[in-house]
Amino acid sequence: MQINILAFAQTRIELGFSELTVEVSPTETPRAVLRRIAPDFSLDKSIRVAVNREYSDWDKPMGEAFELALIPPVSGG
C-alpha cells in the first residue's frame, strides 16, 4: 500500500521534503519506514509520530494507514 509521509518545521528542513509518497507494508512500523527512506536521519525522542492524523507510537505497525506525519516539538499560539 502507499502512504504519504509528511514532515514539518525542523524535520522538513532536515529531511529535505514536506511530503513523500512511499510503498509500505501494513506490518511496518513508522520507525522502520523512516529508517528505510532516511537512514541517516537522527530520530530524536522529542519527535512524535502521527498516523492518520492521530498521535501514535513509533513502534506500532501502521496497518491500513494513509498518512504518517513527523511531529517535532510544537509551538503554536
Partner 1 sequence: MKTHIEFTHSPIVPPRMEIGAKEIGAQVEFLGIVRELEDVQAIAGLHYEAHEPMARSTIEKIFSELAVLYPCEEVRLIHRLDFVPVGETALYIRVRSRHRRSALRMTEAAIDQIKADAPIWKLT
Smallest gap from residue 77 Cβ to partner 1 (A): 5
Question: Which helix (H) or strand (E) is 12 found in, with range?
Answer: helix 9-15
Name residue 8's amino acid: F
Smallest gap from residue 55 Cβ to partner 1 (A): 8
Residue recorded with cell 509551538: 75
* Nearer of residues 33 and 68 to partner 1, judged by Cβ: 68
Name residue 51's amino acid: V
Smallest gap from residue 9 Cβ to partner 1 (A): 4
Residues that bind partner 1 (CB under 8 A): 6, 8-9, 50, 53-55, 69, 71-72, 74-77
* Nearer of residues 61 and 72 to partner 1, judged by Cβ: 72
CA dist., res. 61 & res. 55, Å (int): 13
CA dist., res. 76 & res. 70, Å (int): 16
* Nearer of residues 8 and 17 to partner 1, judged by Cβ: 8
